[in-house]
Structure 1
Amino acid sequence: MVPAILESADGCQASEKPLRLWGVPVKWASLVLLTFVTTWTIFSIKLARSSSQEYRNSSVVLFTELFKLALSFAFLSLETKSPMAAVRSFWIECRTKPLAMLKLCVPGLAYTIQNNLIFLSVDFLSAAVQQVTYQLKILTAALLSVVMLKRTVGRKRWIALCILVAGVMLVQVPRNAEVSSVPRMQHKAPGTTGATRAFMGFLAALGACFASGFGGVFMEMVLKGSATSIWLRNAQLAIFGASTAAWVVFQEGHEAPLVHGYTFWVWLMAFTVASGGMLVAAVLKYADNILRQFSTAISVILTTALSALVLEDITLDMMFAAGTVLTIGATFMYSGMLDDFLPKWMQ
């Protein structure tokens, strides 16, 4: 995504007319791209693992943050009309509001932990199970917003969260085929059984959900009432994320080069994860959170289908289908998209 392909409807400045991407309004282009990237992310991690067992997840997280930093400055340059203006606005913001920038080290650490745990969970779970389980981030975000933001969660949303948990539990029920064997593209940790791998994957996914929820709620606290560009904040966040990831890499103390074991698929995985984070920001900026839920639901369905048909790492059954439907339905219900179909006592 480069400046040359991002233009207004008639070639005017982006601030004067709604932005278009390849002739399509950015609102819809960002949603389509987010759906594709969200679905592709899980498979890119599995493809990277199948192409190489030697790369370190911590180094991939570092390069992911560096890609995010580069993408953030690219979008900021579009917003400010030139790279020099982007650098100047970034420097002024950091110099005049150092405390606001320092606050971002907290979500920066949270997102670094989240990315590491996502890589770990994909190693131990099938693509479909990981994708559905990761929707528990809605639950963790809601609970943390109640605790940290003193926000009230209504009856409808509590019911939706209970349905979400029930759906994930159905998806997580062990299947004999999954317990006895390791999918073709799934990394197998030495000395672990299928049930142990599934449990470790669930814990990693749950940890990623908590890190995601905490980072998101803290970012909301920082951004609330702020007129600062979302791309500038993302650039600051990426700096702290890269710093934290670099510290983790340093603490591991490997003598091998940082890019040891890297293949084309590993680089593509790092860029995919980075671009996914940027697309979420673009959707929230140009579209809205409800449309983002549509993207999430479609991505879950696509991941499930591809996981069964292409990777062959899961056998679909009625219990898995019911869990997936409950999870998607709970997501829609929580975001308010089913309000017209719910009885009054739920609302």
Structure 2
Amino acid sequence: MFGSSTIISVGGNGGWLRRHLLSIKTISLVVLSVQTSTMVLLLRYSRTANTTPYLITTAVLLSEVIKFSLALGFLHIECGKILQRTLDRIYRDVLINVFETLKLSIPAFLYVVQNNLLFIALSNLDAATYQVTYQLKILTTAIFSWVILGKRLRILHWLSLCFLMLGVSLVQVDAPKGITSRLNILPAVDAALVDGDAAAVVEEVDAMPNPDLQGSHPHTEVSWLLGVMAVCVSCVSSGFSGVYFERLVKQGPQTSLVIRNIQLGIFSIVFAVLAVISDGTLIRSGGFFQGYTLSTWAVILIQAFGGLMVSVTMKYADNILKGFATSLSIVLSTMVSVLILGDAAPTLQFVLGASIVISSTVLYGLSPPSESSLSSGSENDSISSSSSSYKVFSNKVT
């Protein structure tokens, strides 16, 4: 009798637990999707709505400073909110252990470059095209994991990666190529010179937007190419830096992730400051906060704090859920960018390409790559947990 009642009790609690976890997973799906879409759309809006564009380098620097402050705050809490203990910990684990600290300079540099590139990409591409193309990071991460970490990729993985490339290619081929730009108007200038009517054409050329790293002119072939190149380089950077950090965690000493993020933050701020210095002339003429609006500050704060929210939801998310979250985010971004931001409505070819990308993303998540035979199961669990926690401070626009 006691055994029966115990079984009934466990069964009842198990049913409640399953429903509870299902609810949490549903909430996680919504949070991941909305957070990703909000970040992409806000960044896109902040770069296209303002008459005077803000400097990308200053926004990245402020975001890095906030993330570094968060890391220090978490360390202070970890040390019992005792200042002397916190300072001793920083001195021992960061300054004395300088060799381990220097190892974080590589991913720090890559993440700063990557964040700058993503601002450039969303200055020149619509939100939907950006998000679909950025899924190439799955391909780069898989390849680097295979080469550096020795993870085994099954036929299902290679098949999904091939479909991913096909889908992204369809989306990019669908991009407008017939729009007049500074490149394709040059033959008209030559013809006008022959006719003796160059002045009118020169005026037209001068009136056209000049796509540069700080401007936002998403309606020319030149800026489209700049945006796509920025996304592709960012995907390579994302894949390598993520795998490199995973290797550090796996093979290096068992250092606290908070300390790892402080080490990372030091170099991130240094590289971000160097990038700001490169914009010294623009800052002297227009000021550090030129072009800043509420949307700019919102982007900076979401970029800094968004990773914390994502890391909490990732506790209950699996690879399948992440795939669905990515898919839902692409759909949401496409709808909002068309209805609110005024981007062009997706064509049938774009929808086909995006659908292939979404399907391949979910397919890849059904069975994530397995570790090499050199890694133990407990170590793998530790790496998975570490990677999730790491996203608190190193989050990117997904």
Normalised by the length of structure 1, the TM-score is 0.78
Task: Give the superposition deviation at 1:286.
Answer: 6.0
Between 66-75 and 125-134, the greater mean CA deviation after superposition: 66-75
Task: Give the superposition deviation at 1:70.
Answer: 2.1
Match of 1:321 among 351, 363, 372: 351
Contact map agreement 1:332 1:338 (CA 8 A) in 2: no
Q: How does 1:285-300 map to 2 (within 5 A)?
A: 287-300=317-330
CA deviations over 1:245-265 (Å, ceiling 9, x no partner): 101111332224322222222
Between 168-177 and 65-74, the greater mean CA deviation after superposition: 168-177
Q: How does 1:1-347 map to 2 (within 5 A)?
A: 32-49=30-47, 50-77=49-76, 82=81, 84=83, 88-176=88-176, 179=179, 189-190=209-210, 194-224=220-250, 227-254=254-281, 255-256=284-285, 257-284=287-314, 287-336=317-366
CA deviations over 1:56-83 (Å, ceiling 9, x no partner): 1111111111121123334445555537
Q: 1:268 to 1:250 in 2, by over 3 A?
A: same
Task: Give the superposition deviation at 1:120.
Answer: 0.7
What is the match of residue 376 of structure 2? none
Q: 1:311 is paired with a residue of what secondary structure?
A: coil
Listed as ranges, the gaps of 5+ residues in structure 1 are: 1-23, 182-187, 340-347
Normalised by the length of structure 2, the TM-score is 0.69
Question: CA RMSD of the aligned region, Å?
Answer: 3.1
Q: 2:136 is paired with a residue of what secondary structure?
A: helix
Q: 1:282 to 1:242 in 2, by over 3 A?
A: farther
Task: Give the superposition deviation at 1:43.
Answer: 1.5
CA deviations over 1:94-140 (Å, ceiling 9, x no partner): 14532222111100000011111101110111011001111111111
Q: 1:51 is paired with a residue of what secondary structure?
A: coil
Contact map agreement 1:100 1:222 (CA 8 A) in 2: no
Distance 1:231 1:28 in 2: 29
Identity among equivalent positions (%) equals 34
Contact map agreement 2:319 2:366 (CA 8 A) in 1: no
Distance 1:228 1:292 in 2: 27
Distance 1:43 1:189 in 2: 22
How many correspondences in the alignment?
310
Code of the residue aligned with 1:262 in structure 2: it is Y
Q: 1:290 to 1:237 in 2, by over 3 A?
A: farther
Code of the residue aligned with 1:241 in structure 2: it is S
Distance 2:262 2:179 in 1: 42
Contact map agreement 1:137 1:213 (CA 8 A) in 2: yes
CA deviations over 1:246-292 (Å, ceiling 9, x no partner): 01111332224322222222111111122234444445556444433
Q: 1:83 to 1:251 in 2, by over 3 A?
A: farther
Distance 1:62 1:73 in 2: 17
Distance 2:80 2:368 in 1: 41
Listed as ranges, the gaps of 5+ residues in structure 2 are: 1-21, 182-207, 212-216, 370-398
Distance 1:246 1:30 in 2: 35
Distance 1:87 1:98 in 2: 16
